[in-house]
Chains A and B, each alone.
Chain A
Amino acid sequence: MSNTLLNVEELHVHFKVYGGILKVLNDVALKVNEKEKVGLIGESGCGKTTTMRAIMRILPWNAIVPKAKIYFKGKNIMKMSDSELKKLRRGSISMIFQDPTAALNPVFKIRDQLFDIVRYTNLEVGKNLSKKETEEEAVRLLREAALPEPERILDSYPFQLSGGMRQRVCIAMALASAHDLLIADEPGTSLDVTIEDQILRLLKQIVEEKRTSIILISHALGAVKGFVDRVYVMYAGCIVESASTSDVFREPLHPYTKGLLAAVPKLTGGGVPEGIKGRVPDYMNPPIGCRFVTRCEYAMPICERKQPRMINAGNNHEVACFLYGE
């Protein structure tokens, strides 16, 4: 049994908006072991990014966190002081944002932005780098992110780079501090498929080489298939299923997961993927019971009344669905 690195329990996140409160994350729980590769899958708007922002403690100003326990190496991130948080962000966890264009400051050269990150992450471990050492380290990180001509990249503004390059710059920035856990929020989805594929392979190679854990977020199961060890399936702010990757593909339990799998485009089959009918429920007034009830073809009376708990269906395959008991 390997050691637990990150353990999220009872995470609830709401957003205050004009006209009410969006109850987005509802009792999210997930666990990442050391050196483990974990996938977090769910369609757009189900709360994947919000979960990761809660872990990094970078939720937007209108977020409310009524309840959360987020343990990293046994310490509750929610209770960390500013300096502990700084240490965590500079030395342990790093996040690659969903949109690399938005994640880079438009008015500073990559040099300015990357140098600061390199300088402060090293300062945290007691190394006060000279300008030259900072540059060497920055170039090394860019090379690690498979960027050719790192010197030219350093001298560019974000808008002078292609989408793929920006994505790699963001990866390089994350590598400066992701010594334990890398969070990759749908890397490459904004790019074309071949580049997305390259990015995923690069990330896989990096985390396997550096033996760090990764949470890889995606809206499609197919994208993480050859990458992660375990998969969490998320729907409307709830984790609905968790299992090893092979189990999920062999025997998906939750009706939502089944729908997602049917939506994986088959290279041979062609045609439009089936998908799941309907949309994510309104977060202002989510269903009292199972949040998937409005779209579920197996819905039973109990699903309307009660929230399903995660139950173990054997072999560490967990599912939150009344079809498999209460």
Chain B
Amino acid sequence: MRLTTYLAKRIGYTVFVLIGLSILIFTLARVLPGDPARMALSPRAPEWAIERLREQLRLNEPLPIQYLYWLRDAFSGSLGESLVTRRDVLTDITEFLPATLELLLFALIFDVALAIPIGMLAGRKANTWVDNIVRGFAYIGVTIPAFVFAIIFLLVFGYVLQIAPTVGRLSPGVMSPPKITGLITIDSLITGNFSTFVDAISHLILPSFALALGPIAQEARITRSSVVENLNKDYILASISHGLPERRIILKYLMRPSLIPTISIMGLDIASLMGWAFLVESIFNWPGMSRYGIIAMLRKDLNAIVGVVMVTGLVFAIANIIVDVIVSLLDPRIRMIERAK
């Protein structure tokens, strides 16, 4: 199987897209009104100081030249200095990104763990009360945006019932584990600090579940309908007619073809997940990329804006490559057709 060729092709294509994205966001950030140099300094700063900062930021060069400088720096591992933190944007991102990734990871775990079984169940029990309940919930999940769930969870579970913490990644007084991956759950497990692990999980539950609900609903619906469709396919009836055990038919012959559309749509859901994560982070005071990104926008911190967008794009691209590889593993037809091209 030439999965490696397929992978190489996809990665090449992704680099291309990311360069396109960088040109776009680089230009957009600069044509928006407002002078970043003036905003970075105090309102009373003298004109010569502002001019010096502009010079330093190369804002007086033509746009393409500015971009080429940025590209050169990017390839040598620097995303430029943030006007707010006065550190390299890459350093800032490595500090804030893990919190966001951890949130996304848990949302994805909830998503996969719930959407697929729920969708399979509803599909197998199509048009029964089970199915109707699932469809009702799925409808709610698809129509209500994640930040509304986040606010509801915050109020209900955080303030009224008080069963889960609602602020930050760890309770006050709990020490962060030494930074290895930056994901507190993983780092605390590696260092064998179980109580920190539990505390981190309890902080993750509400925001990640609020984030996951939309994708869960969407993917459960898609799984349901493809299960219903496949259940009536001749190949499933043929498996039954050969006397194969029910478990084997469902977990092998029904599940694999039914999951192909689900996993494909997951690639898109991951994108929307990242968008919503910015709002949910703000609601739960989650020290991730969102606060950094929002401040960057407000202060017109050019390098930070470009950096945040590029990292988001990169995470999205990687997630989609993974999704594509899984789909091509599930569906030999896709793999072989790609190969033939």
Q: Which residues of A contact B (CB under 8 A)?
A: 53, 56, 58, 60-61, 85-91, 94-95, 97, 99, 102-109, 116-117, 120-121, 124, 157, 159-160, 170, 173, 176-177
Q: Are A97 and B234 in contact (CB-based, < 8 A)?
A: yes
CA separation between A296 and B176, bound complex, in Å?
88
Binary interface profile of B, 238-274, with partner A (CB < 8 Å = 1, else 0)?
1111111100100011001100100000000000000
Q: Could you say which of A90, A99, A116, A120 has the most chain B C-beta atoms within 10 Å of its C-beta?
A: A116
Number of A-B contacts (CB under 8 A): 84
Q: Are B240 and A58 in contact (CB-based, < 8 A)?
A: yes
A61-B126, A105-B257, A116-B248 are known contacts. Are A121 and B243 too (CB-CB below 8 A)? Answer: yes
12 A-B contact pairs sorted by A residue (CB < 8 Å):
A53-B237, A95-B238, A95-B241, A103-B238, A104-B235, A105-B239, A108-B252, A108-B253, A117-B242, A120-B242, A157-B332, A176-B242
List chain A residues, Cβ under 8 A from B233. 102
Chain B residue total in the interface (Cβ 8 A): 26
A107-B330, A108-B253 are known contacts. Are A116 and B235 too (CB-CB below 8 A)? Answer: no
Binary interface profile of B, 319-341, with partner A (CB < 8 Å = 1, else 0)?
00000000000111100100000
Main secondary structure on chain A at its contact with chain B? helix
Closest residue of chain B to A173 (Cβ to Cβ) is B242
List chain A residues, Cβ under 8 A from B241. 56, 58, 89, 94-95
List chain A residues, Cβ under 8 A from B242. 89-90, 94, 116-117, 120-121, 173, 176-177
Q: Are A107 and B256 in contact (CB-based, < 8 A)?
A: yes
Main secondary structure on chain B at its contact with chain A? helix
CA separation between A173 and B262, bound complex, in Å?
30
A60-B232, A116-B244 are known contacts. Are A107 and B257 too (CB-CB below 8 A)? Answer: yes
Closest residue of chain A to B234 (Cβ to Cβ) is A102
Q: Could you say which of B234, B241, B330, B333 has the most chain A C-beta atoms within 10 Å of its C-beta?
A: B241
Closest residue of chain A to B253 (Cβ to Cβ) is A105
Q: Are B336 and A160 in contact (CB-based, < 8 A)?
A: yes
A142: min CB distance to chain B, Å: 15
List chain B residues, Cβ under 8 A from A176. 242
List chain B residues, Cβ under 8 A from A124. 243
Q: Tell me if B231 counts as interface (CB < 8 A to partner A).
A: yes
List chain B residues, Cβ under 8 A from A173. 238, 242
CA separation between A214 and B250, bound complex, in Å?
30
CA separation between A27 and B232, bound complex, in Å?
25
B235: min CB distance to chain A, Å: 4
